[in-house]
Amino acid sequence: MSGVFVAGTDTGVGKTLAACVLLHALRRRHARVVGMKPVAAGAVRVGNDWTSDDAMALRAASSIAVPCELDNPVLLPEPMSPHLAAQRAGVPIEIDRIVASYGQLAERADAVVVEGAGGFLVPLSARETGADLAQALGLPVVLVVGLRLGCLNHALLTAEAIRARGLRLAGWICNRIDAHMLQPEDNIAYLRAHLAVPLLADIGFSAKPDPRAVSVHLPPDWA
């Protein structure tokens, strides 16, 4: 496996954290590992340049540095749905361009972790969604589930949408984002049974989670 697409059940479930967890785990197997944030909505200024918090986190977890136009080809100023942010900025989100950037990253790296934006079906334009991007990339998908009330429905619906696109759901990551959730272990057991793919990592609740400290169970075919 040279690449994986990280999808979320919603925004705010910890996709960036999960992607960084995967990057650190893959670095134990490969010399050249890089993260990619194809579409980032919400820019921050660092020195004389503009970037995004997500892109910076992925770069910090990567083992190689690449041009920003490759690991974050679409950077939008405002933190809103990508299709609206792109419309307001006058910047079209072109899936073909993103796929080309991914191809250049794959040539430079042994493994690429691609983090989607928002939920799996987040709009990128009036006609295309994050699912169309995932389908164009054709990568195995890792689903990030933010463990909170309602996550079972969101996780199963997203898994169904992933599989309906003909994509392989390669595993899932549990992120315990609600420290007060009732019966979390029972929810995890239900998802284990019904998602029917490996649980790659179980991220405990933390105000400042460290992706390097999370235990990850990578499948053998990811070697």
The structure tokens listed for 187 are: 């929810």
- For residue 52, tell me if it sits in a domain: yes
Mean pLDDT, residues 48-71: 97
Residue 78, C-beta contacts closer than 8 angstroms, at least 6 positions apart:
41, 42, 84, 85, 88, 89
Tell me how many domains the chain contains.
Answer: 1
Mean pLDDT, residues 26-49: 95
Q: Please give the Cα distance from 117 to 198 (Å, whole number).
A: 23
Q: Is residue 223 pLDDT above 60, yes or no?
A: no
Phi-psi sector, 133: left (phi>0), alpha (psi -120 to 50), beta: alpha
pLDDT at 103: 97
CATH number where 66 lies: 3.40.50.300
Mean pLDDT, residues 64-93: 97
pLDDT at 169: 97
Q: Pick the catalytic residue: 15, 24, 37, 83?
A: 37
- For residue 148, tell me if it sits in a domain: yes
Average pLDDT in the chain? 96
Amino acid at 41: A
Q: Is residue 1 pLDDT above 80, yes or no?
A: no
- For residue 223, tell me if it sits in a domain: no
pLDDT tens profile 163-204 = 999 999 999 999 999 999 999 999 999 999 999 999 999 999
Residue 15 annotated to the active site: no
Domain that holds residue 11: 3-218
pLDDT at 221: 78
Q: Is residue 219 pLDDT above 90, yes or no?
A: no
pLDDT at 9: 96
What are the distances in angstroms from CA 171 to CA 33, 89, 196, 198?
19, 35, 9, 5
Instruction: Supply the pTM of this predicted model.
Output: 0.96
pLDDT at 6: 98
- For residue 103, tell me if it sits in a domain: yes
- For residue 45, tell me if it sits in a domain: yes
Pairing mode, strands 49-51 and 44-46: antiparallel
Q: Is residue 73 pLDDT above 60, yes or no?
A: yes
- For residue 165, tell me if it sits in a domain: yes
- E strand segments, the chain: 3-8, 33-36, 39-41, 44-46, 49-51, 74-76, 111-119, 141-146, 169-175, 199-203
| pLDDT confidence tier of residue 151, bands split at 50, 70 and 90 | very high
- For residue 113, tell me if it sits in a domain: yes
